[in-house]
Amino acid sequence: MHLKALEHLRSPSTRNRLTLTNAEFEAGEVRTGQLIDERDHLSFEIINFIPRFVTDSSYAKSFGEQWNLYRRTQLDRFNGTTLSRDRFFRDTGWSATELRGQKVLEAGCGAGRFTQIMLDAGAEVYSIDYSTAVDACWANNGPHPSLFLSQADLYKLPFEEGSFDKVFCYGVLQHTPDVRKAFMGLIPFLRSGGRIAIDVYRKTSWTTRWTSKFWYRPLTKRMSRDTVRRIIEWYVPRWIPIDNFFQRIPIARSVVPAVIPCWNYTGDLPLPPEEVKLWAVLDTFDALTPAYDSPQTLDSVKSWFSDADLEDVSVRMGGNGILGNARKR
């Protein structure tokens, strides 16, 4: 943790300022120590350079496991593509020039695929994750003078309200217990004129490759995640060639992928076959193990932006389902 983070960190429940004690430094960062809320006698540990405002990953445990297991898979600098960079700038509508010097709250960093993009653009990035994915993000992107990581609850963010130029939240909201509440909880942390970019899965009335997971989740959520992972790592690489065969048969092209959950991106991603298999294993695990997965309709997401009294609103189909962008008045 950089000492600079102390200016902006707050006790999650009281919003009181925090005091650093018992700090041990390494390479200019606080490796261990405590953050003390002296007014309300609360203490938060700094472990392995990261302030921990939660002591358990709770409903987000599966994400901590997956991002530490597959932490390099989706990062551009490790897979040799610009997939994350292209998606980030296309879907947010932001530019690298615009981000330079801005203070960004990243709500749900995962392994840090988008963290890297914002840091490269020159932003100050305050990234949180409920799970131990923060450790994967640190391993991929830290130490960095403009990266400030915290393990924290999306519903109890450890920051001063009205202090961010941008709020970015991709791949997160649908995996929280109350999706609308999670979205609304982000708005107070934007300054006036600040911009927010979110995405959420789209709710559909038909079954596709991407929604067949809901047939299996009642079972896979109750299995040990290690068992699910082992099954996925065994069958997905073997199933991809079969799936590719069925893609050449018009009648089977839609039916077979809707029955067998396999996030096969052959032909969709500019990656060699082994990388496609790894990406498929990761995303299939991501689909079958989270505690919560609540897709939304376009109208429901539009209603959030309306209720939040945002302006310059754009809610549309895209990305992983539905994209939302707006500016705070």
Averaged confidence pLDDT in the chain: 96
pLDDT of residue 206: 86
Q: Are residues 189 and 265 in the same domain?
A: no
Range of the structural domain that residue 237 is part of: 214-288
Q: How many CB atoms lie within 10 A of CB 180?
A: 17
pLDDT digits (tens, 9 = 90+) for 210-219: 999 999 999 9
**What is the mean predicted confidence (pLDDT) over 264-281?**
95
Domain assignment present for residue 207? The answer is: no
**Measured between alpha carbons, how far is 320 from 326 in angstroms, rounded to an integer?**
18
Confidence of residue 253 (pLDDT cuts 50, 70, 90): confident
pLDDT by residue (tens digit) across 53-100? 999 999 999 999 999 999 999 999 999 999 999 999 999 999 999 999
Alpha-helix residue ranges (DSSP H) falling in the chain = 61-69, 76-79, 83-92, 96-99, 113-120, 133-141, 179-184, 213-220, 225-246, 252-259, 273-288, 298-307
The DSSP output letter for 131 is S
Higher pLDDT, 27 or 313: 313
The answer to whether residue 138 is domain-embedded is yes
Residue 30 lies in a domain: no
Same domain, 317 and 173: yes
At 11-53, the pLDDT tens digits run: 999 999 999 999 999 988 999 999 999 888 899 999 999 999 9
> Same structural domain for residues 168 and 77?
yes
Number of domains in the chain: 2
Residue 198 lies in a domain: yes
Q: Give pLDDT, residue 79.
A: 95
My answer on whether 155 and 118 are in the same domain is yes
Instruction: Please report whether residue 31 resides in a domain.
Output: no
60 and 105 co-located in one domain = yes
Look at residue 28 and tell me if it is in a domain: no
**pLDDT (0 to 100) of residue 208:** 87
Label residue 199 by pLDDT band (50, 70, 90). Answer: very high
Percent of the chain, pLDDT > 90? 92
19: β partners: 36
> Does a structural domain hold residue 125?
yes
Task: Measure the CA dihedral 299/164/53/182, to 10°.
Answer: -10
Please tell me whether residues 183 and 129 are part of one structural domain: yes
Looking at the structure, tell me whether residues 191 and 274 fall in a common domain. no
Q: Confidence class of residue 207 from pLDDT cuts 50, 70 and 90?
A: confident
Q: Does residue 173 form part of some domain?
A: yes
Of the candidates 46, 192, 194, 172, the residue with the CA atom closest to the CA atom of residue 114: 172
Q: Are residues 81 and 189 in the same domain?
A: yes
**Residue 254: per-residue pLDDT:** 87
By the 8 A CB rule, do 68 and 135 touch?
Answer: yes
Q: What is residue 177's predicted lDDT score, i.e. its pLDDT? A: 97
Does 121 lie in the same domain as 80?
Answer: yes
174 in the same domain as 93: yes
Say yes or no: 77 and 186 in one domain: yes
CATH code where residue 307 lies: 3.40.50.150
- Report pLDDT for 117: 98
The answer on pLDDT for 118 being more than 90 is: yes
* Per-residue pLDDT at 205: 87
- Do residues 301 and 278 both lie within one domain? no
